[in-house]
Amino acid sequence: MVEWVVCVAAVVVSFEDRPADVVQAAKDRRVVETLLRLKGVKLNTKPQWKAAVRRHLHRIVGQPKYFDLIERFALREETPQLLDLAVAFPARSSAVSALRLLLKFERQAEIRRALKDHPGKAAGLIAALGLAGGRSALEILQPLVVDREQSLAVRSAAARAVGRNLQGQQSLLTLVREQKLPRDLHFTVADVLFGSPIAAVRSEVARYLKMPAAAKGKALPPVAQLAKRRGNAARGERVFNMQGTCAKCHKVRDAGKEVGPDLSEIGSKLSTEALYVSILDPSAGISHNYESYIVVTVEGTVLTGVKVSDSATQITIKTAEAVERPFSKLDLEDVIKQPTSLMPEDLQKNLSLDELVDLVEYLETLKKPPTGIKSAKP
């Protein structure tokens, strides 16, 4: 909603307070309304109608009506605008609508290029493609799952997106059965397939993969089911500081160490599902600036940690114990970026199912303080 309100507001300021533009906008709207009532309109034979429709479209970019009109009149020339919308905010429903139309217009090549040109947005765009759905989305997504050139974040997002489709679930199951599924996707694919609505898929995947085990070796249910449970936030806070060992690496307000990101507002940033995934499969979505590195010195010291700073002469690494260690670049043999997170993979092993649910309940309470209340007062 907010996205197009902003767009429309911008247009209102720039055009519509000039009388000629107001008149033109009203005319265009009338043309569009009339065309919508006619059957079998071919805009390509009527350039002036088409121009009116396109002017109107550009006044309502991103609104539901915008996508309806593009679809109704099959306006393939809107491709660049649709791509821009998808890339700008992949997590919004406008991105899904835009991608659905791009797939309908067979713009697979353009979508693939956007994924390549915007690596920081790729995982988000892939998730939106999964929601846009259909066979043509699968054609883009399936090869990404097993493409070793792609980061784990991209492959994992692709596996989740493929898993939104029943035919896609079968293709994931085939990878599992034929032992072609890379090890680092086991969690994602197990989570997707154990959550399948089809009993035969769930029972077959159980022959090959397991969900991670909580304390006492009890396998966890899929994330979609975990996310429906309610826990006790006060108990979760104790889990965070004690059994979970989370406070060894994360700050919440003034307590805890800062090896990983500050979690004081994590409940505003991540959905319940994403909170579970970041605990159960930390490497699948490593936060920006928290990639882990191994440094090897000329003298043979080896140290793993996140990079705190990197200048022309010096690099500083922060270890899992929150120790900052500077190195002169002259002393370094190698600096190797790791595909895995510094956050340990099996933290849930020390937690019971209830403790894990309590922990996530607690994380959800960590929200941004509400803003705008003060400024709204005169």
CA 281, CA 8: separation in Å to the nearest integer? 40
CA 230, CA 88: separation in Å to the nearest integer? 34
Rank residues 130 and 267 by Cβ distance to ligand HEC and give the closer one: 267
341 belongs to the binding site for ligand HEC (CB under 6 A): yes
Q: Total binding residues for ligand HEC by CB under 6 A?
A: 27
Residue whose CB is nearest to ligand HEC in the complex, by number: 260
| Other beta carbons within 10 Å of 168 | 24
Q: What is the nearest approach in angstroms of ligand HEC to the Cβ of residue 52?
A: 46
Rank residues 12 and 320 by Cβ distance to ligand HEC and give the closer one: 320
Q: What is the nearest approach in angstroms of ligand HEC to the Cβ of residue 285?
A: 6
Q: What is the nearest approach in angstroms of ligand HEC to the Cβ of residue 22?
A: 46
308 belongs to the binding site for ligand HEC (CB under 6 A): no
306 belongs to the binding site for ligand HEC (CB under 6 A): yes
Rank residues 266 and 315 by Cβ distance to ligand HEC and give the closer one: 266
Rank residues 214 and 342 by Cβ distance to ligand HEC and give the closer one: 342
Binding part of the chain for ligand HEC, among 81-89, 142-150, 209-217, 337-345 by CB under 6 A, reads 337-345
157 belongs to the binding site for ligand HEC (CB under 6 A): no
- Residue 72 near residue 101, CB atoms below 8 Å: no
Rank residues 78 and 237 by Cβ distance to ligand HEC and give the closer one: 237
Q: Work out which of 24, 93, 245, 352 binds ligand HEC, going by CB under 6 A.
A: 245
Rank residues 139 and 262 by Cβ distance to ligand HEC and give the closer one: 262
- Residue 81 near residue 61, CB atoms below 8 Å: yes
Q: Work out which of 131, 320, 332, 335 binds ligand HEC, going by CB under 6 A.
A: 320
Beta bridge partners of 324: 318
Q: Work out which of 76, 118, 229, 248 binds ligand HEC, going by CB under 6 A.
A: 248
Binding mask 255-284 for ligand HEC (x = CB under 6 A): ----xxx-x--x--x-----x--xx--x--
Q: What is the nearest approach in angstroms of ligand HEC to the Cβ of residue 232?
A: 15
Q: Work out which of 168, 195, 231, 244 binds ligand HEC, going by CB under 6 A.
A: 244
290 belongs to the binding site for ligand HEC (CB under 6 A): yes
Q: What is the nearest approach in angstroms of ligand HEC to the Cβ of residue 127?
A: 15
Rank residues 102 and 363 by Cβ distance to ligand HEC and give the closer one: 363
Q: Work out which of 7, 140, 193, 246 binds ligand HEC, going by CB under 6 A.
A: 246
- Residue 240 near residue 359, CB atoms below 8 Å: yes
Which 3-state string (H, E, C) describes the chain? Answer: CHHHHHHHHHHHHHHHCCHHHHHHHHHHHHHHHHHHHCCCCCHHHCHHHHHHHHHHHHHCCCCHHHHHHHHHCCCHHHHHHHHHHHHHCCCCHHHHHHHHHHHHCCCHHHHHHHHHHCHHHHHHHHHHHHHHCCHHHHHHHHHHHCCCCCCHHHHHHHHHHHCCCHHHHHHHHHHHHCCCCCHHHHHHHHHHHHCCCCHHHHHHHCCCCCCCECHHHCECCCHHHHCCCCCCHHHHHHHHHCCCCHHHCCCECCECCCCCCCCCCHHHHCCHHHHHHHHHCHHHHCCCCCCEEEEEECCCCEEEEEEEEECCCEEEEECCCCCEEEEEHHHEEEEEECCCCCCCCCHHHHCCHHHHHHHHHHHHHCCCCCCCHHHHCC
95 belongs to the binding site for ligand HEC (CB under 6 A): no
Binding interface with ligand HEC (CB under 6 A): 244-246, 248-250, 259-261, 263, 266, 269, 275, 278-279, 282, 286-287, 290, 306, 320, 341-344, 347, 359
